[in-house]
Structure 1
Amino acid sequence: MSEHEDEHDKLSPEKAFDGDSVDRMFRKARWKSILRNTCISAVVCIVLFLGGFVLNQQIANKAGWNAYTPIELNKRITGPNLYIDGPQFRYGLLGGTIEFQKFKMIENRVIPWNDYFLKYNGFQGEATVLPGRTTGIVQVKENGKDRYYNDRSGEREMLFYHPAMKYDHYFNDLPLLNKMSDDQYIEMGLSFNKGYTLSQVEQMLPQGVHATWYWADSYNEEDLKHLKFKAEPERAEELHGFQSYLERLEDTRRTTEAQFMKMVQDVAECTNSYYAEQAAHVLAAVKSHQQSGMIIGVVVTGTRDQLKSLQKLPFIKAATLGATVDMY
């Protein structure tokens, strides 16, 4: 061992490590600690962000379907020949928006009817219409009487007259068939002179006339007092009833009165308080009229010549034209 190496080995710790060396050592350790903590924090933030994003999507998706399902259930018991397509959800923080379209089916032709834009959140549980995105009807005067048209398609909305009421004026649009083209499908709303059972209505209508929707008597005594005070016919989309077939794209499973009441019961048990309360009221009224006949009107479709067979039938109290569409 050389003389210089021996002297270096004998240096005291204070001389072996000067102040600059200690500072460099601590700075290096501190930066390593900061880098390690930063990496750990970044990983934790990413995990929390991804977890929060997934959780929010799940909450918003569940809340969206909870808000939409009552709308879909209620649609089954309202709106003649009207259907809604699948909803589109756009998620936000613990909520979002729902967009869907309503369309009318006349025979095998489609007529766009309304666009709906709703908002919802995970706490409220019910969807509300977005401001400025409403759709509705246009009211016009024809020969001094109110008529209603869909504000998107421009098609007429049918009107109905309750058999227990006396009105100053009844529309009878059946003579209009003589002025219409023979290459159109036509929708017509018929109001009856009293309540009938479903089987009776099916036997009463002429062959070639397609009954597509049945108006159910969902009115109790208080409702009739309101109708008497209003003294105006009912707009089609305000009524309760049921489509002829359980599924739009099939013509084999016809809807029965019992199935209709089960659909009303489903709405009465849904999470939307407005629809549920309304459906409970409807169910009680319909049950009270079931034995005497719950069907007080019907919507029919067909060609001009097919619907002409409805003229002068004694059970038809009023007939109003609805939507029309070209066959081709």
Structure 2
Amino acid sequence: MSEYTDDFFDEKKIKKAIKKSKTKSIITIIFVSLLVFVVLNISNFAISAYFSQKAFKQWDAYVRLTTPNGFISETIDSRGFLGGISNYKVSKDMKRKAVVIEQKQYSFGLFPSILVSRGSGGSIGITGEDWQFAYKENGWREMMFFHPNVTYKKYNNDEELINSMQGDKIYEVALSFHKPYKQSELPFVELPKMTWFWINTYTDSQIKTFQEEAIEYDWSATFISEHEALGFSTNSIYNSTTVLDYEYNKFLKLLQTSISPEHKNAYTNIKGKKIEDIEILGVVVYGTKGQILEIMKEPIIKAASLGGIVDNY
């Protein structure tokens, strides 16, 4: 008698077993695929979130350094594979209120998206008959700075412009000194809340380049733009007893964090120096017309450049 039963060769049972096996295989494949999909998405989200946060810190440091009293007020991420694009708003604290001045983008991640921008517009002062101003997206003029160790053919002074303006306003004005001052040497009895200090982070080579440009180029284009002047703010009223150690140490950390290699170079230039040894080249002050014009009377002021203006309420 055969050791195999008729059931062993039952075609229906064989087909049923094969079908059952295929079903189990399909279920296993679907389950594994779903598991892989979930794991990949979680990994992608985690990696993108990590690089998004890292990029935000770098770009926020950049904005805080290059825009007096500026900061990133809002970001909206569009994430792709292991990266993405962040649309962000830059706001400026104008003492009474914060105002959005620009909207920009940056990419982040292991595979950051390529950003392509297009635009067109006119230029101001290209003939050399007026300063070659740059403007922010909200229409405010970017402030100009003049290094005290550079001799310029002409210095901008917006005193007459400020004097002619009407209404109760808060003015933002960049004031360049006639020479570098250490904090203990500043002659101001008092400066208003939210004063921004322009710090000398430049090397001798950079200053030499500024001087050569001032000699060779037209006066209308030889100045240091707002984005090239680095500094920090104090939110309290400044006087001779004010201690700036906290603000200065925060400034050093921002230089190290910023996305810009130039900011890291600036940190190298002043690394190891205490606030008492740092040179201050100018200030940005915020106040009413009367307050601003009173400060501008100080003999140490070499140039004055108007920035933003908001209603004083």
Corresponding residue SS for 2:67: coil
Q: Which residue of 1 aligns with 2:70?
A: 82
Q: In the TM superposition, what whole-angstrom CA distance separates every residue of 1:213-265 from its partner, at most 9, and x where no partner exists? A: 110011221011111122111111211100113xxxxx599995433543344
Pair member with larger Rg? 1
Counterpart among 71, 86, 104 of residue 116 in structure 1: 104
Q: CA offset at residue 179 of structure 1?
A: 1.0
Pair 1:276–1:89, CA change in 2 (3 A) = same
Counterpart of 2:297, as a letter, is: K
Counterparts of residues 269-308 of structure 1 (less than 5 Å)? 269-270=256-257, 272=259, 274=261, 277-284=264-271, 287=273, 290-291=276-277, 294-308=279-293
Which 5+ residue runs of structure 2 have no aligned equivalent? 215-221
Q: Which residue of 2 aligns with 1:230?
A: 213
The CA distance in 2 between the partners of 1:148 and 1:298, in whole Å, is 19
The CA distance in 2 between the partners of 1:296 and 1:121, in whole Å, is 38
Counterparts of residues 56-71 of structure 1 (less than 5 Å)? 56-71=44-59
Which 5+ residue runs of structure 1 have no aligned equivalent? 1-11, 246-250
Aligned partners of 2:141 and 2:307 also within 8 Å: yes
- Give the number of aligned pairs: 302
Q: CA offset at residue 39 of structure 1?
A: 0.9
Q: Which residue of 1 aligns with 2:231?
A: 241
Q: CA offset at residue 66 of structure 1?
A: 2.0
Q: Which residue of 2 aligns with 1:6?
A: none
Counterparts of residues 152-301 of structure 1 (less than 5 Å)? 152-201=137-186, 204=188, 209-210=192-193, 212-231=195-214, 232-245=222-235, 251=236, 256-267=243-254, 269-270=256-257, 272=259, 274=261, 277-284=264-271, 287=273, 290-291=276-277, 294-301=279-286
CA RMSD of aligned residues (A): 3.4
Counterpart of 1:234, as a letter, is: I
Q: Which residue of 1 aligns with 2:31?
A: 43
Aligned partners of 2:196 and 2:234 also within 8 Å: yes
Report the identity percentage: 26
TM-score by length of 1: 0.79
Q: CA offset at residue 281 of structure 1?
A: 3.7
The CA distance in 2 between the partners of 1:157 and 1:112, in whole Å, is 14
TM-score by length of 2: 0.83
The CA distance in 2 between the partners of 1:270 and 1:59, in whole Å, is 20
The CA distance in 1 between the partners of 2:133 and 2:39, in whole Å, is 51
Pair 1:117–1:104, CA change in 2 (3 A) = same
